[in-house]
Structure 1
Amino acid sequence: MAKYLLIMRGTDESNAAMMADIERMMTRTQEFIGAAVKAGVLLAAEGLDDPATGVVVDFSGPAPVVTDGPYGETRELFGGFFLLDVASREEAVEWAKRVPAAPGSKIEVRRVPGDDEVPRI
């Protein structure tokens, strides 16, 4: 088994579409979560607060610079995640295809390396 993070990525447009029918989207999301729990693969699921409430710590210069959101150049924003423990990347992708998402959204699938894969200092 391996852990995979399904990262929900949306645009202003896809987020607006989701909010326009939020009750239906929340119902579908709860159904997805229920199916993942029943299958025994869900480790965690969280949504994120509005990007306007966040900050970015930018390490581009000699000292970190903190900038309040929202971010003028951002084309996609992370909206939340599901952490799954599945047998393969292919299985993670199949679960990602089932995530209820508004048109224009994306789900990024990333493997979480195990403790034995992290370089030791």
Structure 2
Amino acid sequence: MKYMLLIHLNPKANAELTEEQQAAVGAAHEKLIGLTHESGEFVTMQPLAEPAQTTVVRVRDGKTVPSDGPLVEAEEFFGGYYVFDVAGKERAVELAAMIPDAQWSAVEVRPFLEMPEG
């Protein structure tokens, strides 16, 4: 079953990390990617740009209305994701705990919905 692990980041907590801690975070992500590649569970991952680079698009009365900035102001923001194909929720939670950002922010574990073919 496929799960998306959504990484929520807290910019204040990130700013407090030392260079050594930042390097350890990067190494932990690399380790997780390597582990899940070897096990065949890795599907994809992608970090996202800061919320300040966001454009929100709404369509009102048939007109496209873009606006700069995030949808809502928040202490934490959606910073990236992993997609894993695992045996079940327990394994997805286990992998989420290996994401180093979970130590000071949150990682949301969400299953993909099964879509009928055709």
Matched residues in 2 for 1:7 and 1:114: separation?
A: 19
Bigger shift: residues 17-26 or 45-54 = 17-26
Give the direction of change, closer, same or farther, for the CA distance of 1:75–1:43 in structure 2 (3 Å limit). Answer: same
Deviations 1:10-31 (A, max 9, x none): 1221332457532221111101
| Offset, 1:65 | 3.5
Letter in 2 for 1:8: I
| Offset, 1:114 | 2.2
| 1:104 and 2:114 correspond | no
Matched residues in 2 for 1:19 and 1:42: separation?
A: 29
Q: Number of matched residues?
A: 116
Give the direction of change, closer, same or farther, for the CA distance of 1:56–1:18 in structure 2 (3 Å limit). Answer: farther
Matched residues in 2 for 1:106 and 1:25: separation?
A: 14
Matched residues in 2 for 1:108 and 1:24: separation?
A: 21
Local SS of the residue matching 2:116: helix
| 1:6 and 2:9 correspond | no
What aligned pairs does 1:1-121 form with structure 2 within 5 A after superposition? 2-18=1-17, 20=19, 21-58=21-58, 65-69=65-69, 73-101=73-101, 103-116=103-116
**Partners of 1:18 and 1:25 within 8 A in 2:** no
Letter in 2 for 1:90: E
Bigger shift: residues 64-73 or 7-16 = 64-73
Query: Which blocks of at least 5 consecutive residues in structure 1 are unaligned?
Result: none
Matched residues in 1 for 2:113 and 2:26: separation?
A: 30
Give the direction of change, closer, same or farther, for the CA distance of 1:17–1:42 in structure 2 (3 Å limit). Answer: farther
Matched residues in 1 for 2:29 and 2:102: separation?
A: 11
Matched residues in 1 for 2:17 and 2:51: separation?
A: 15
Letter in 2 for 1:105: S
Give the direction of change, closer, same or farther, for the CA distance of 1:9–1:41 in structure 2 (3 Å limit). Answer: same
**Structure 1 consecutive aligned stretches of length 4 or more whose deviation exceeds 4 Å:** 61-64
| Offset, 1:9 | 0.3
Matched residues in 2 for 1:115 and 1:72: separation?
A: 30
